[in-house]
Amino acid sequence: MHSVLSNLNSRMTVFDTPKRVAYSFFEWFGELGVFCARLLRSAVAPPYEGRELLRQMDEVGTKSLPLVAAAGAATGAVIALQTHASLARFGATSLIPAVIFHSLLEESGPIITGLMVAGRVGAAIGAELGSMKVTEQIDAMEASAVDPFKYLVATRVVACVLMMPLLTLSADLCGVLTGWLMTSLTDPVSLTLFVDSGLRHADFNDFLPPTFKTLVFGLIIGVIACFQGMRTRGGATGVGKAATGSVVLSSLFLVVADVLLVKIILALFP
């Protein structure tokens, strides 16, 4: 009889697992919705934390610039080498500058920048806010009549949103320069001619929408990282999980958002 009850309990546990997963899934999104509503309310209501915003812009923008520039430069070099190897078979090496410009400015630059910032800034924000949460510093701020959403969350989210297009342009610039250098190693060409060839068949509609879509990337990174940090539980282990979750989830949502935004941009700017 005891074995029968044990088997029944084990089967119930197996059947309950999908329900628990579904419940946790919808619970997480519900908490995220409440978090975003509180964030929006705190962000638009005065007074504004201008000094903290500038500090966060420096943390997100200036300190991420070397990593983003290196990633953009590597991407430009790889695109130039691969493009030259492919187009040389068809005698179309004159199209290399255009391919590099379009590849970098339309897709590679924005997505590489978003993933780099998600890795560096997302982990930093998640770990910082998570540490403050488990050490009850955020509770102390609330007890001192300081709104943690205004001071901690809103400033970080706005900084991510504002800095992403600038970081993307930096990555694009470094990618174009290294693309020109790699191209010049095999087919010497001046930088002026390279840029002119790359932009000859392009207009602002080709480059502005992909650059400004990184505003959405910055919003995703800031919101997810702050959300994971503010809901941290369980001491040092919880802080580690918050940092990891910030990177993984922000990168996942960023890729999904990129697919949707590309579809929207192609529909609005054919």
Q: What is the DSSP string of 162-193?
A: HHHHHHHHHHHHHHHHHHHHHHHHHS---HHH
Query: Biggest alpha carbon distance in the chain?
Result: 86
30 has pLDDT over 50? yes
Rounded to whole angstroms, the Cα distance separating 194 from 177 reads 10
DSSP state of 107: I
Predicted structure pTM score: 0.86
Q: What is the pLDDT of residue 9?
A: 46
The pLDDT confidence band at residue 16, using thresholds 50, 70 and 90, is: low
Residue position matching structure tokens 């978003």 = 114
Rounded to whole angstroms, the Cα distance separating 194 from 188 reads 10
Residue position matching structure tokens 């391919």 = 99
- Pairwise pLDDT comparison (248 vs 197), residue with the higher score: 248
Instruction: Give residue-wise pLDDT tens across range 107-131.
Output: 888 999 999 999 999 999 988 888 8
11 has pLDDT over 80? no
Domain ranges of the chain: 1-45, 49-268
Per-residue pLDDT averaged across 50-73, rounded?
Answer: 90
Are 153 and 224 in contact, with CB atoms under 8 Å apart? no
The pLDDT confidence band at residue 191, using thresholds 50, 70 and 90, is: confident
Which among 245, 196, 40, 204 is positioned nearest to 106, based on CA atoms? Answer: 204
Rounded to whole angstroms, the Cα distance separating 114 from 161 reads 11
176: Cβ contacts below 8 Å, ≥ 6 apart: 76, 100, 101, 104, 195, 198
